[in-house]
Structure 1
Amino acid sequence: MKKLSILMVVVFLLTMSYSCSEEFLTKEPPGSLSENQLYSADGIEALMIGTYAMVGGSSLWEISWGASIQNWTYGSIASDDAYKGSELTDQSPANDIEHWVVQSTNNYPADKWQWALGMGVDRANKTLRIIDLVESEGGITSDDANAYRAETRFLRALFYFEARLVFGDYLPILDENVEDPTQVTNVNAEGAVLDFIIADLTFAGSNLPASQSQVGRATKWAAKALAARAYLQDLRYSDAEPLLDEIIASGEFTLAADFMDNFNIATNNNEESIFEIQANVNDINESLNAEMGIGLNWPHGGDIGMCCGFHQPSQNLFNAYKVDENGLPMFDTFNDTDLANDQGIASEAEFNPTDHALDPRVDHTISRRGIPYKDWGINRGNNWIRYQADGGPYLPVAKPFFKKSERFSLSTTTGWQTGINANNYRYLRYTHVILWKAECAAASGDIDEARTYVNMIRQRAMDSEQVMGKVLINKLPGGSDGVYPWGFNTTDADYKTGGDVDWTKPAANYQIGLYTSFADANEAMEAVQWEQRLELATEGFRFFDLRRWDNLPNQIGGKSMAEVLNGFARADERIRTSEASMVGYTFSEADKYMPIPQAQLDQQVGVLEQRPEYK
């Protein structure tokens, strides 16, 4: 299928006068779009693509990291999944998110607010107004108008959903009929923001097609899946489950055959994809058609070095992949003893990876010393880490990263964020639907159905290709960082064929089993929660999941969100003299949402209100 074409810089320039200005210039600059040119089907299409361009946030450039739709800050480093990584002195606002000490002047939440409301929602609303005008003047049929509205309202709902994840219900509700957005309060009746999101998604689900000729455009299934996730934030299982059932019954989607099919460039837009954010590189300068919001999150040291070493998995997450003799998660004891790591150990010194039984998804998610890392070489530990003392021993999260053989063809050749690549972000996929269905079943007490759906995900992990290649050396030969990808005197050509690696054996002791029964609904829910962590780790879900599960009767395996995160903080294994360590920081109820940005409060005095916990 043809990919949705989003030439972001061009669209941004062409729609600048429309999207960012309150008036039109008397004399239009060369190459700009006049207002009258927008009053047609082609104009609507251009505006809608401009709204799609905001989804990836790439054309924002300066504000892209705090605005990233992958939520590596608010959903991952704010949780027990990952550390900010890199060095303490680089991007200090992200340190505050990791340590739960965010102030209203922090520019990262300000970026998210500007992206979601000031740009995304604003573009959607202006597009909807043009749709109304063109329809009223007979330029398009009512059916075409509703098709355009459905797609645009899906996008508006997505922006509001993302804003609600971060700021909760303290959001101004802005539709296309609001004349002056600066005068709309963010204090709403209970449930009003969710109702607004659901209204948009209900309309979208009723008017969008089941498939699109261009991949990357919203469908009815994307609308229903996003509505289900929106309901799940408030644990409204009875509202979410029928939507999930409808998606499953449609037969439109299946689980991809291999776990990594959801993270490899070669398998973008596969049979599991419900809504993917498309990425292209080297088509425009700086590769702005890829997602810049994770541009800091690539390996930084040695021969693999790019920029900038952020978003490093935590020891707690690594421990979570331990399994028992049946290949099942160790709910209560996983964090009693840390699995072996090379924190503070030089690459030239000896280190032996753990031989503990592990879920095989671990080394697709976490890149650790002594294990082959895609086709880049044996992970060398310290020499591949920007600054171990602050960031920990694990490379930036592995899922979005590309292969060495894809470098410069499917990764950017321009700009300074050279890890930017053509890997799509699977925003909504069938994995989510199956896991959310399992959660709904557990919540209703149907433990057999919950087990069936959890086991579907585990069976796929069992059938997926493991990381292969048992490394036969335990230190970097000769101390050189760029000469030995697979051991002494080897080259890239030795990948899967030679070097100091036994390619016939798995890289570690991988085991995974299926659940045969659950004792009760609490155990079923705990299994669902664990499966979501293991399957979706480092994808920006964890903090938001902990927050909503905190409202369940048994919370998170009998622990509150605060108990989970504070236990993680107390056990932080990074060098204790590092100020990046979580030791000494405490999570509380007041840290569940980000503050309303101070700049917004200052611009709309007496209109917007700060969340009560930040007053």
Structure 2
Amino acid sequence: MEENPVGLATAESYYTTPKGIEDGLKAAYTPLRGFYGRQEAYFLTVTGTDMYTNGFGGATNIPDINNYSPNFLGSHPYVRVIWDNFYVGINQTNAIISRAPQVQGINEATRSRIVAEARFLRALYYFHLVRQFGDVHFTLEETQGVETEARRTPVATVYQEGIVPDLQYAVSNLPAKAQEYGRATKHAAEGLLASVQLTLGNWAEAEKMASAVINSNDFQLVKNYIDLWDINNDVNSEVIWSVQYTDDPLTNGPGNEGHLYFQFDYTRNPAMIRDIENGRPFQRFMPTNYTLKLFDLSKDSRFDGSFKTVWIANREGTINGKKVVPGDTAIKIVLNPVSDAVQKSVPYWLIDFNDKWVAAVTDPLEIGGASRRQFPTLRKYLDPLRTSVNATDGRRDFLVMRLAEMYLIAGEAAFKQGNNAKAAEYVNVVRTRAALPGKVADMQVKATDMSQDFFLDERGRELAGEMHRWYDIKRSGKFIERLMKYNLDAAENVKATHIVRPIPQTQIDRVSNPGDFLQNPGY
């Protein structure tokens, strides 16, 4: 008997209808959640940089990426996860782009918008792949059936024939405001193209795209920097484009896991137990000394806006012989040295900073102490709305692009064109927002302050932990220099090889033409 399954949906049958092609487009967004807010991607964008090294959990569980260890090879599961995830996305976008022109029952504006959204996503997926891996397999055609041949296309070709024209099309065909929040828009495409052109060294184009977003007046900087990280305010006037998570466990999947990884272990304190507000501390990522010294606390709000340094007791305990009750201070971290006598006299843990390399500290009341367990917590991903103290499925949206970065891109691009005065003007908009009350004038920078290192520092102050840093130090040409100077864990092993990641061994093993698909040199 031959079966005739009437409910079997295939691309050939389902993507031919207006609803089918829209559903297919929605599926093309799914791989975003396999990257933004996931541990694998944080390791490949945040650590192994001048700003972040391994905390206790990173050093214990996944040390090799930050350390550029000889053990960081194509067999590492994190490179495979990123690679496979993005190629799933690329194939889905290719399907939508190739099939949308044949769909009956939609007008041309809708058709163009569908294709433009898919091309935006395809460009984003390829943009990550070429920056992580260098030359990659490049196709603009949907894979149907089994294909076993692959070739590594030069990075320049992927930009010229894929990423840039895709984004130019998206800029021309996407609406300024999406009907559904979270879909790609014209301004998201402009913002991504600004980042692409900055990476390519096309300074005038980078400034043009970033300033187009700025001058659209569709976005405004939120008044206070810290308000960006209010979990009840993750849809705000500064967000150009974000990846959505939800409080619905049926659709949130693993969720935004960022709340797990940037935290120190406050539960070792006698007056603290794990709770929802303070989070579940996996202690993967610890700020470097460079990061801790990057902010002028006398005038810049962004350190306190980015990092949590005070914890309030949530149970009774005894610290330094003194009784501590809920509501009292249990832990305070400061960015300066404090005498042992003072540390022993206060009724809380007073953790200080003596500018020793944070990973080599032995004093438990010092940043980096207790085997890398003591450090300021990045507040940008804290999630007090989780359902339980052990829940890992965070619901915070991931802010992929926001207006402040557009000012920094425009400023850096202007600087690269020799227009330092204009560059300072862009930057000062961001620094004005960052100023402490009464310190706006003190926060202004001048044309003579502009340099490549200044822009790396300023992006560090504004964007710490937001998945830009590995890409920033790479495109700046200061990758080795910055790691040797500021990340002593990485400095032992890092070399020019590490400007790209190893190609996943699973990819190399499964091609039928291995001579055309070689591993990156040095791996």
Q: State TM-score, norm by structure 2.
A: 0.80
CA deviation digits over 1:366-411, x for unaligned, max 9?
Answer: 33367999x9965366899999544342144221113xxxx4xx32
Contact 1:77 / 1:311 at 8 angstroms: preserved in 2?
yes
Answer yes or no: is 1:379 the counterpart of 2:331: yes
Give the whole-Å Cα distance in 2 for the aligned partners of 1:73 and 1:434: 26
Number of the residue aligned with 2:86: 116
Deviations 1:503-552 (A, max 9, x none): xxxxxxx99822353337xx4443322211111111121221111111xx
Aligned partner of 1:401 among 382, 407, 410: 382
What residue in structure 1 maps to residue 56 of structure 2? 86
Number of equivalences:
467
Paired with 1:157 and 1:376, the residues of 2 have a C-alpha distance of 50
Aligned twin of 1:530: 457
SS at match of 1:87: helix
Tell me, yes or no, if structure 1 residue 317 matches structure 2 residue 258: no
The answer as to 2:440 corresponding to 1:515 is no
2:227 partner letter: D
- 2:111 paired residue number: 145
Deviations 1:462-495 (A, max 9, x none): 1579xxxxxxxxxxxxxxxxxxxxxxxxxxxxxx
1:542 maps to a residue whose letter is R
Percent of residue pairs identical: 22
The reply on whether 1:452 has 2:399 as its aligned counterpart is: no
Output the CA distance in 1 between the equivalents of 2:380 and 2:179: 28
- Deviation of 1:100 after TM superposition, in Å, equals 1.1
In structure 2, the residue matched to 1:222 is 188
Indicate the RMSD between aligned Cα atoms, in angstroms: 3.5
Q: CA deviation at 1:298?
A: 4.9
Alignment correspondent of 1:577: none
Report deviation, 1:261.
2.8
Name the counterpart of 1:423: 396
SS in 1 for 2:432: helix
Aligned residue type for 1:411: R
| Residue 199 of structure 1, aligned match among 157, 162, 165 | 165
Q: Does structure 1 residue 247 correspond to structure 2 residue 213? A: yes
1:462-541 equivalences under 5 Å are 462=435, 513-519=442-448, 523-541=450-468
CA offset at residue 226 of structure 1?
Answer: 0.4
Q: 1:420 to 1:83 in 2, by over 3 A?
A: farther
CA distance in 1: counterparts of 2:491 and 2:10, whole angstroms? 57
Pair 543,189 (structure 1): closer, same or farther in 2 beyond 3 Å: closer
User: 2:365 & 2:99 partners in 1: Cα distance?
Assistant: 51
Consecutive unaligned residues in structure 1, runs of 5 or more: 1-24, 324-356, 466-509, 551-559, 571-581
**In structure 1, what is the equivalent of residue 323 of structure 2?**
none
Say if 2:133 and 2:502, in contact at 8 Å, map to a contact too: yes
Match of 1:96 in 2: 64
C-alpha distance in 2 between matches for 1:439 and 1:594? 26
Offset of 1:583 from its aligned partner? 7.6
Equivalence for 1:567: 485
Q: Is the 8 A contact 1:358 1:512 kept in 2?
A: no
Structure with the bigger percentage of helix: 2
Contact 2:480 2:496 in 1 (8 A): yes
Where 2:404 maps in the other structure, the secondary structure is: helix
Do the aligned residues in 2 keep the contact of 1:595 with 1:610 (CA within 8 Å)?
A: no
- Among 65, 73, 76, the alignment partner of 2:43 is 73
Uncovered stretches (5+) of structure 2, i.e. residues with no partner: 268-272, 315-326, 333-348, 352-363
Query: Which of 483, 487, 507 is residue 600 of structure 1 equivalent to?
Result: 507
Determine whether 1:588 maps to 2:495: yes
Instruction: List per-residue Cα deviations over 1:421-467 (Å, max 9, x = no partner).
Output: 332111011111100011011111111111111111111011579xx
Superposed CA deviations along residues 81-115 of structure 1, whole A, max 9, x for unmatched, are 122323367432xx111101221111111111011
Residue 125 of structure 1, aligned match among 94, 104, 114:
94
Partners of 1:149 and 1:389 in 2: CA distance: 53
* Aligned equivalents of 1:412, 1:90: Cα separation in 2: 27
Contact 2:290 2:486 survives alignment (8 Å): yes
Between the aligned partners of 2:510 and 2:200, the Cα distance in structure 1 is 31
Aligned to 2:300: 359
Cα–Cα, structure 1 residues 162 and 224, in superposed 2: closer, same or farther, change >3 Å? same
Greater RCO (CA < 8 Å, at least 6 residues apart): 2
Point out the more displaced range, 215-224 or 250-259. 250-259
Q: Out of 208, 218, 231, which is 1:265 matched to?
A: 231
CA contact (8 A) 2:191 2:210 kept: yes
Q: Secondary structure of the equivalent of 1:77? A: coil
SS in 1 for 2:308: coil
Secondary structure class of the residue paired with 1:214: coil
Whether the 8 Å contact between 2:25 and 2:118 is mirrored in structure 1 is: yes
Task: Tell me the equivalent position of 2:360.
Answer: none
Give the superposition deviation at 1:33: 4.1
Rate the CA distance shift 1:47–1:612 in 2: closer, same or farther, 3 A.
closer
User: What is the SS of the residue equivalent to 2:407?
Assistant: helix
CA contact (8 A) 2:170 2:186 kept: yes
The answer to whether the 8 A contact 2:79-2:501 is kept is yes
Deviation of 1:364 after TM superposition, in Å, equals 2.5
Question: Does structure 1 retain, via aligned residues, the 8 Å contact 2:264–2:375?
Answer: no
1:50-76 deviation per Cα after TM superposition (whole angstroms, max 9, x unaligned):
221221128x99xx532x3xxx21221
